[in-house]
Structure 1
Amino acid sequence: MPQSLPHHAASPDRPVCSPRRLRGVSAAVTASGLAVALAAVAIAAPAPARAATRSAPAAALDGVEAQRSQLARLAKALVAAGAPGVIVRVDDGRGLPVEVVEQAPWAERDGRLAVGDEFRMGSNTKTMMAVLVLMLVSEHRLDLDDPVERWLPGKVPNGGAITLRMLLNHTSGLFDYTGDSGLLASILGTDPRRWTSLDLLALGVRHEPLFAPGTRWSYSNTNYAAVGAVLEQVTGQSAADLLRDRIARPLGLRHTYLATDSTWRGRHARGYEPDQAHMPTGVPAEYRVVAGPQHDGRVDVSGNDPGWGGAAGAVVSTAQDWARFHTALMSGRLLPAAQLAQMRTTVPMDPENPVNGPGSGLGIETGSTPCGTIWAHDGGITGYSSSTITDVTGRRTATVLVPTEFVYEFEADEGILEADQALKTAVICTMFGKPVPTAAGATGTG
């Protein structure tokens, strides 16, 4: 049986009250899809893509339209379940990508969602940060077995026993800084404070570690706060500048950047959370009041500052940019073969299935699905949930973006979660060019 990635909320390693914000790949990723959702009413297929499709052979046209129709039904079901909207982009490596956009009518009043909109990518940021570290490893400026103490002396308790590799694959044992109450106001958008990598690292390390370094796996954003601080210490450049100069510009990713404040650089998706009166009961009381303009029972959080995500989760990108990044990464364009192999070397994420279960590499995770083995990550930051998926070659890519987060963060709406799971399953199977399992394909066919 295909194994699913363990759900972080269910992990005994995570503090019970700690949110999974800036999370990594969630439970549904491998067995049945990924995790997030939304929904709406209209499919937005860019005119140039339609024109190109019309010139393709009839069989290819029929195939693309059939895929689009199936994904559109599932995306619409997600919106009908309560999501503000969803952007889906799937490329099976054999022709034009399938692109679907659905949006709730109430959200359209703030602007029409489009497949090329900039989106806050949350923990997908970690994949790019890992690439930056591995670039420096290839240049002999860093070594994965370097202790954190070498680069951040006195900043991490027991830093002599924690290596850069442990930070990157989440085996350091460090407490997740998103579980510290000092960050809550920033998560909710009520505190305009600017956080540095060292600030965020300090939040995490003031808590007792979860286990001895290297003995177990537990997802922690503190690992990547430390990574950001190391990158800045070694190069003398900010993580934002490193990402721009070493990844975004060389690959032509015109809408990809590490946000350091609330400013967007282009057309962007608006993100939402329910207002206090409409917040699902499963969301803890301390997360029920979010800052931002309100209408239709929702709060628009797109003007809030995501800088508290830092090197763990503050990247902004688009579906198209991320596909280009994944293709360049997995094909070997970004990293030498030795460093790409290190990135793909995994540790078990599920202690009950250490051999055949999912694995955590360096900034990316892998696992089995009904339609093939994926390499993936996902992200959640207030108002924005994202899932990015590729195969081992980078020839096939998929992205699902949903402009809301708390319902996923706290598993607070079963209907949205089920619709999201069905859509993600279909997305993965479409990426591999395989039929969607009947149960998933049947969802939302009315």
Structure 2
Amino acid sequence: MRRRTPRRLLATALLLAAAAPAPSALPATAAPAPVPLRHGGEGDCRGGDGLPPATAERLDATVEKVRRQAGIPGLVVGVRMPGKGCYVRATGVADKRTGRPMSADGYIRIGSETKTFTVTALLQLVDEGKVGLDDPIDDYVRGVPNGHRITLRQLAGMRSGLFPYTADQDFLRDMLSDPKRPYTPWELLSYGYRHPNTFRPGATFQYSNSNLVLLGLVIEKVTGRPLAKVLHERVIRPAGLRHSFLPKGAEFPEPHPRGYTDQTLSGAVADATDWNPSWAWAAGGMISDLDDLHRWAKVVATGELLSPATQAQRLKTLPTGFPGTSYGLGILNTNGWIGHNGSLPGYETVTVYLPSQKATLVVMLNTDALSGGQEPSTLVARAVTEVITPKNVYAGSVTPRG
């Protein structure tokens, strides 16, 4: 694999997310542990409900081809298309050392898909009249550069102009030098605050995880509870999810694949399975599984947990500068597919829903190493949708890596 230098990391690190629970005002309490995974569940597509054999065979060949071409160790693809059937395949290895095969029955780190959960919690507070989307962040968190002009809407829509702390050279050096180190939101924000804002609020789109750190703090301030508990009680449990949670630190329930990254100071491939994702807190720290992500794809895209008016605001997407992809409030629309992608060292995911066909697509893989300058999850999602929905082909993510 191509060596990735710290300068290359600067160009790619915006996909990396946000940080850990607030340091002093609220305890860093984890959500209740998820229930044990079911094996042989609905993800198996047994009982004659699979896609037509010719389509499944074509998908098998497509999935394996892109996995090998992109150098992906292990890959899981799940498709559900009401009236047509479902498809789940796991290919490759979950552990390069032992050769353990990849399995559809396992937990995965979902990276920036966490944003869809965090913003859902924020929008619930909007529905309850506890916050307003056009409130300035200064009403809730002090010390934000130009915070009297930056609104919660602009934070959720990636239009605040706040410098992305993950693009700070000191953050990259500190995080990669000691990847098991815990972080607090305040530490993360301080890296970004060293730099001037990049544009006036609302002027354009820039993917910045500083935005989601601040929204996580807003949620904690308004509810008086740690974000992990808020997400569990207000979002995860009401959505009917059983294997999704925001960890306190590096904990990672079994079974799960090992995760491999070339985001290292030397550029060498490393096993990032046990790296501490506390820095990915409200923007990218969550863990989930295939069945939960299939369920969540529809919940978040159709607004099951929100009022119709608030969901309509969420889905009002604006241009990102990435062809075929626009961004709303913590959610993207890529050629009709609604949802989000996720990436952090060692893992990538895509969870999207196509309203016109009520279809869901989930992609989970155990590397974030670029292939031809593109995220491997984008390559997989694009190839799969070329087969199942040729009129709605996944265009890609909204980050510099996509």
If the length of structure 2 is used for normalisation, what is the TM-score?
0.81
Task: State whether residues 45 and 86 of structure 2, in contact with CA within 8 Å, keep that contact through their aligned partners in structure 1.
Answer: no
Residue in 2 aligned with 1:200? 188
The answer as to 2:309 corresponding to 1:338 is yes
Structure 2 residue matching 1:114: 3-state secondary structure: coil
Q: CA deviation at 1:171?
A: 0.6
Q: Percent identity?
A: 30
Q: Deviations over 1:135-172 (max 9, x none)?
A: 0000000000000000012x201100000000000110
TM alignment of 1:41-440, pairs within 5 A:
53=46, 55-56=47-48, 63-81=51-69, 82-104=71-93, 107=96, 109=98, 111-153=100-142, 155-184=143-172, 187-188=175-176, 190-274=178-262, 286=265, 288=267, 298-350=269-321, 358-368=325-335, 373-392=336-355, 395-405=358-368, 407-408=369-370, 413-414=371-372, 417=374, 423-430=380-387, 432=389
**Partner AA of 1:20 in structure 2:** A
Q: Deviations over 1:55-76 (max 9, x none)?
A: 43xxx76x43333322221222
CA distance 1:189–1:339, change in 2 (3 Å)? farther
Q: Deviations over 1:33-54 (max 9, x none)?
A: xxxxxxxxxxxxx86669864x
Q: CA deviation at 1:325?
A: 1.2
Distance 2:354 2:392 in 1: 17
Q: CA deviation at 1:301?
A: 1.5
Distance 1:131 1:51 in 2: 29
**Partner AA of 1:377 in structure 2:** H
Residues matched between the structures, number: 365
Structure 1 residue matching 2:15: 3-state secondary structure: coil
CA distance 1:139–1:430, change in 2 (3 Å)? farther
Q: CA deviation at 1:208?
A: 1.0
> Can you give the 5+ residue segments of structure 2 that lack an aligned partner in the other structure?
1-6, 18-38, 394-402
Distance 1:382 1:52 in 2: 30
Q: Deviations over 1:353-411 (max 9, x none)?
A: 8xxx532100011132xxxx111311110001111211237931101112111x22xxx
Q: Deviations over 1:253-304 (max 9, x none)?
A: 2211112211113421210125xxxxxxxx7x83525xxxxxxxx5321111
CA distance 1:299–1:318, change in 2 (3 Å)? same
Task: State whether residues 77 and 419 of structure 1, in contact with CA within 8 Å, keep that contact through their aligned partners in structure 2.
Answer: no
Which of 7, 13, 35 is the equivalent residue of 1:20? 13
Distance 2:356 2:286 in 1: 24
**Partner AA of 1:264 in structure 2:** F
Task: State whether residues 43 and 290 of structure 2, in contact with CA within 8 Å, keep that contact through their aligned partners in structure 1.
Answer: no
Distance 1:156 1:225 in 2: 12
Distance 1:50 1:139 in 2: 35
Q: CA RMSD in A?
A: 3.0
**Partner AA of 2:341 in structure 1:** D
Task: State whether residues 326 and 394 of structure 1, in contact with CA within 8 Å, keep that contact through their aligned partners in structure 2.
Answer: no
If the length of structure 1 is used for normalisation, what is the TM-score?
0.74
Q: CA deviation at 1:210?
A: 0.7
Distance 2:220 2:244 in 1: 19
Distance 2:110 2:226 in 1: 19
Distance 1:50 1:249 in 2: 20
CA distance 1:421–1:261, change in 2 (3 Å)? closer
Distance 2:177 2:108 in 1: 17
Distance 1:124 1:326 in 2: 10
> Can you give the 5+ residue segments of structure 1 that lack an aligned partner in the other structure?
1-13, 25-45, 275-282, 290-297, 438-446
